[in-house]
């Protein structure tokens, strides 16, 4: 029988910031320095130098500050055509009044979160909470409560760009602060019921547009009549004026009148683009024609690429030469803006108006489909590389992407996947639409750590439904099983057990066609989880034994299934057997340096000791899990450990331990 009487003493002096460890058994101990303070987020890009004729709108925003200063919530919504200057207006206000928002200026482009089923509101809140230094809860519903708690005593500005419906904005309202929404739709008027001020942003008048042009062109260049005609040809849209104006500044000998003549000729010859923005092709064609060859190649990519963001790495991967220079060229002429967020690397985004014109320029290219396919291939290979950086697990696809930049750590890989999630979903949908079935299911396989780790259920389910279909078209029964199993896990985590069981049954139909026993083993694992959820631990034990046998020879797979088996044994009233399984699994994890499982195994070991009445040992192992989880930023697992510690502390009447764990749970939203 194990001995668990413990008596520890500490003597001497420990310096401030030092470490003291008391424990019966020590496997591996890691000390970590205090976390750096969270930076105050400022996610709205800086405004351009010139700005005119928005005094009424600035006044409306300024008036809203009064309600915020009183500790309340203020909402201002701007509607208008794309390119009319909504984002520029908010950018200027956010910079000039930054002192009024000591806790941050946050930005979300709802278009990047919008899919056929609507906006992924929980995903938006996840980004806001992370920016505010708050760990988002795994449960989607809990994120809304956490967001309201986090913003109750904070002064922030939230800019919701590309909103389409009042309900989207309403669902993202904080407890206090200023919310500014921008939309091309007029359907935000319903926000008046929430006390919002809703204004339509008009195009610039000729006088205001001329003042804008003179602001960067100077008083001497171009006759007033030509400047006025330029404003008219650009339809009073600041975005179009800035694009044309940047090229005027870049070519000192280019006359304003010449640009006006070009615009007029284009207008007669090409007509208008078939969209609500009006005559934008006549505005942007001359800008496009003056781009360098590499600038045009990048512009074609913008028109072809289905996702919202582009980067130098993506551009190089699809064959754009001099990608960095091309990005700078398009940024200088206001065809691209740098994305301001905390994601890794530099990413850029084009305005909707620009993307529409870029699409028109690229749709007749003979290599358009090749460019599109190269983009899909890039994201599949890069996602595969990120997935492999996350550690060992069963994968059907061969390694790829080794010619691309690697990742310094599993954390960096996960952050890249998260930052590119909108592009990755677009790549899956594009590949499915083009019949690139092998690309679809391989992308989905690589997205497992993103979806499982960050709980992006909408994206998870939508992409994997396409993954199942593509695996079937690709005549890969093993991939069908893989896709259906990963889809089943999404439904399982949402506690939709009937849908999970349905996917599992459909996957089982493919088993006679699958020769890889590990692939079959994943079905035993998920079935075991469903048995546990259904209160049938004995059946779960049988499933996990089968799953472990299917993974024989794969160290990580055997450890994972031993972890699951131990949980089932405890639930079945057999904690002594569970401890034996866990000791063997822990030794294997130490030998193979499986840090992920070394984090998880102590929690189950703690539950086994608790079941045996060995509460002191249970505290030791639960504490080890909490420390390891915190070091790996695995906050959901840390919350599970502290929840157990609270229960153990209550049984031991250890109020100090209970209080410490409750405080940490409040931070994590348990």
pLDDT at site 29: 44
Q: Is the pLDDT of residue 660 over 70?
A: yes
Strand segments (E) across 341-406 = 348-349
What span, in angstroms and rounded, lies between the C-alpha atoms of 263 and 270? 10
Residue 362 makes CB contacts below 8 A (sequence gap 6+) with 299, 300, 301, 302, 303, 304, 368, 371
Q: Are residues 307 and 356 in the same domain?
A: yes
Whether the pLDDT of residue 310 is over 80: the answer is: yes
Closest to 478 measured CA to CA, from 443, 521, 448, 439: 521
Same domain for 186 and 210?
A: no
Q: Based on the domain organization, do 275 and 322 belong to the same domain?
A: no
- In tens, the pLDDT along 251-261 reads 788 888 887 88
How far from 497 is each of 32, 91, 329, 453, 524, CA to CA, in Å?
39, 46, 52, 20, 15
Say whether 76 sits in a helix, a strand or coil.
Answer: strand
Q: Which domain holds residue 255?
A: 206-289
255 and 385 share one domain = no
Q: Which two tokens stand for residue 531?
A: 């048995």
CATH number at residue 331: 1.10.10.10
With bands split at pLDDT 50, 70 and 90, how would you rate the model's confidence at 36?
A: very low
Cα–Cα distance measured from residue 501 to residue 270, given in angstroms and rounded to the nearest whole number: 57
429 in the same domain as 327: no
Given 200, 215, 230, the domain boundary residue is 200
Residue 633 lies in a domain: no
Report helix angle 537-550 to 517-533, nearest 10: 160
pLDDT over 60 (residue 1)? no
Report the candidate in 381, 361, 357, 362 with the shortest Cα–Cα distance to residue 372. Answer: 362
pLDDT tens readout for residues 430-478: 999 999 999 999 999 999 999 988 889 999 999 999 999 999 999 999 9
Residue 549 within any structural domain of the chain:
no
Question: What DSSP letter does each residue of 529-563 carry, written as one string?
Answer: HHHHHTT-HHHHHHHHHHHHHHTTT-HHHHHHHHH
pLDDT tens digits along 544-554:
999 999 999 99
Please provide residue 507's backbone torsions phi and psi, each rounded to the nearest 5 degrees.
-65, -40
**Considering the domain boundaries, does residue 603 fall inside one?**
no
Contact between 20 and 10 under an 8 Å Cβ cutoff? The reply is yes
Could you tell me the pLDDT band of residue 265, with boundaries at 50, 70 and 90? Answer: low
The b-or-e profile of 132-148 (16+ CB within 10 A means b, else e) is: bebbbbbbbeebbebbe
- What number is the average pLDDT over the span 208-217? 88
Q: Give, as one character, the DSSP assignment of residue 186.
A: S
Instruction: Say yes or no: 78 and 184 in one domain.
Output: yes
Residues 6+ away with beta carbon under 8 Å from 475: none
> Is residue 536 domain-resident?
no
Q: Residues 65, 187: one domain? A: yes
Domain match, 283 and 338 both: no
- pLDDT the model gives residue 280: 65
Q: Are 388 and 357 members of one domain?
A: no
Residue in 96, 89, 100 with CA at minimum distance from that of residue 159: 89
**Sequence-distant contacts of 529-535: CB under 8 A, at least 24 apart:** 529/492, 529/564, 530/492, 530/497, 530/500, 530/501, 530/504, 531/568, 532/567, 532/568, 532/571, 533/492, 533/495, 533/497, 534/497
Neighbouring residues of 452: CB distance < 8 A, sequence distance ≥ 6:
460, 489, 493
Question: CATH code at 174?
Answer: 3.40.50.300
In a domain, 578, yes or no: no
Read off the pLDDT of residues 383-399 as tens digits, 9 standing for 90 and up: 999 999 988 889 999 99
Residues 276 and 226 in one domain: yes
Which range among 260-274, 286-300, 330-344, 594-608 shows the weakest confidence by mean pLDDT? Answer: 260-274
Q: What are phi and psi of 33, to 5 degrees?
A: -70, 160
Residues 77 and 140 occupy one common structural domain: yes
pLDDT band at 239 (very low <50, low <70, confident <90, very high): confident
Indicate whether 59 and 186 sit together in one domain. yes
- Residue 49: phi and psi, rounded to 5, are -65, -40
Average pLDDT, the chain: 88
pLDDT given at position 278? 45
Phi (first) and psi of residue 226, to 5 degrees: -70, -40
Rounded mean pLDDT, 69-98: 89
Strand order through the sheet with 337-338: 309-310, 348-349, 337-338
Range 247-273 average pLDDT: 66
pTM for the predicted model, two decimal places: 0.77
Q: Which of 408, 441, 476 is the endpoint of a domain?
A: 476
> Which of 365, 398, 418 corresponds to the end of one domain?
365
Task: Tell me what the mean pLDDT of segment 425-431 comes to.
Answer: 97
Chain centroid to CA 471: 26
Statement: residue 161 has pLDDT above 80: yes
Is 349 within the bounds of a domain? yes
Q: What is the DSSP string of 226-266?
A: HHHHHHHHTTT-HHHHHHHHHHHHH-TT--HHHHHHHHHHH
Q: Which two structure tokens, joined as six digits, stand for 433?
A: 């639409």
Q: ∠ CA(114), CA(118), CA(121), 5° rounding? A: 75
In a domain? residue 214: yes
How many domains does one find in the chain?
Answer: 4
Calculate the alpha carbon distances from 651 to 348, 476, 644, 645, 662 in Å: 55, 53, 11, 10, 15
Question: Are the C-beta atoms of 334 and 242 separated by less than 8 Å?
Answer: yes
Asked if residue 272 is part of any domain, the answer here is yes
Kindly state the tokens that stand for 67.
């309600």
Tokens of 248: 């005027």
Q: What is the DSSP letter of 39?
A: P
H helical segments located in 537-634? 537-550, 555-571, 575-592, 595-611, 615-631
SS3 (DSSP) at 323 = helix
Asked if residue 627 lies in contact with residue 31, where contact means CB atoms within 8 angstroms, the answer is no
């Amino acid at each position: 029988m194990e001995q668990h009487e413990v008596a520890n003493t500490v003597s001497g002096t420990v310096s401030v910031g030092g470490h003291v460890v008391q424990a019966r058994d020590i496997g591996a101990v890691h000390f970590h320095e205090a976390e750096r303070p969270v930076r105050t987020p400022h996610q709205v890009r800086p405004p351009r130098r010139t700005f005119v004729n928005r005094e009424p709108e600035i006044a409306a925003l300024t008036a809203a500050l009064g309600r915020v200063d009183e500790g309340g919530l203020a909402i201002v919504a701007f509607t208008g055509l794309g390119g009319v200057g909504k984002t520029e207006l908010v950018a200027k206000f956010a910079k000039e009044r930054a002192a009024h928002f000591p806790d941050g200026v946050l930005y979300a482009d709802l278009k990047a979160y919008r899919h056929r089923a609507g906006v992924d509101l929980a995903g938006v809140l996840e980004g806001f909470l992370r920016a505010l230094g708050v760990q988002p809860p795994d449960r989607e519903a809990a994120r809304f409560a956490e967001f309201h708690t986090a913003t109750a005593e904070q002064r922030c500005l939230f800019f919701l760009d590309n909103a389409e419906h009042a309900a989207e904005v309403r669902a993202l309202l904080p407890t206090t602060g200023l919310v500014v929404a921008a939309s091309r739709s007029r359907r935000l008027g319903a926000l008046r019921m929430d006390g919002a001020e809703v204004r339509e942003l008009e195009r610039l008048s000729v006088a205001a547009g001329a003042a804008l042009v003179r602001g960067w062109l100077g008083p001497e260049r171009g006759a007033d009549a030509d400047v006025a005609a330029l404003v008219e040809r650009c339809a009073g849209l600041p975005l179009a004026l800035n694009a044309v104006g940047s090229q005027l500044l870049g070519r000192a000998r280019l006359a304003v009148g010449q640009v006006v003549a070009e615009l007029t000729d284009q207008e007669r010859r090409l007509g208008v683009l078939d969209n609500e923005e009006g005559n934008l092709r006549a505005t942007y064609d001359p800008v496009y024609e003056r781009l360098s060859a590499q600038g045009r190649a990048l512009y074609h990519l913008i028109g072809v690429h289905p996702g919202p963001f582009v980067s130098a790495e993506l551009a190089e991967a699809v064959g754009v030469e001099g990608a960095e220079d091309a990005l700078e060229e398009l940024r200088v002429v206001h065809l691209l803006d740098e994305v301001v967020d905390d994601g890794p690397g530099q990413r850029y985004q084009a305005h909707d108006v620009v993307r529409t014109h870029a699409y028109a320029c690229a749709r007749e290219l003979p290599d358009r489909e090749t460019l599109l396919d190269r983009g899909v291939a890039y994201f599949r290979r890069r996602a595969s590389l990120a997935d492999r950086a996350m550690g060992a697990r069963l994968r059907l696809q061969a390694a790829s992407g080794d010619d691309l930049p690697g990742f310094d750590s599993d954390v960096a890989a996960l952050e890249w996947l998260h930052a590119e999630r909108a592009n990755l979903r677009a790549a899956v949908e594009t590949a499915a639409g083009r019949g690139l079935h092998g690309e679809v299911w391989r992308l989905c396989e690589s997205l497992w750590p993103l979806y499982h780790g960050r709980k992006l259920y909408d994206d998870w389910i939508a992409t994997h439904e396409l993954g199942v279909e593509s695996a079937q078209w690709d005549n890969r029964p093993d991939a069908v099983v893989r896709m259906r199993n990963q889809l089943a896990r999404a439904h399982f985590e949402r506690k939709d057990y009937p849908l999970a069981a349905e996917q599992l049954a459909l996957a089982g139909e493919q088993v006679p066609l699958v020769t890889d026993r590990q692939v079959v083993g994943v079905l035993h694992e998920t079935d075991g989880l469903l048995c546990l959820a259904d209160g049938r631990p004995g059946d779960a034990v049988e499933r996990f034994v089968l799953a472990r046998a299917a993974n024989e020879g794969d160290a990580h797979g055997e450890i994972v299934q031993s972890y699951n088996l131990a949980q089932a044994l405890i639930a079945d009233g057999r904690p002594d057997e569970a401890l034996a399984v866990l000791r063997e699994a822990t030794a294997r994890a130490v030998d193979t340096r499986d840090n992920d499982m070394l984090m998880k195994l102590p929690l189950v070991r703690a539950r086994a000791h608790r079941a045996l009445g060995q509460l002191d040992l249970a505290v030791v192992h639960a504490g080890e899990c909490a420390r390891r989880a915190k070091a790996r930023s695995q906050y959901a697992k840390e919350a599970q450990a502290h929840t157990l510690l609270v229960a153990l502390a209550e049984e031991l009447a250890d109020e100090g331990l209970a209080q410490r764990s409750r405080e940490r749970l409040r931070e994590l939203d348990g």
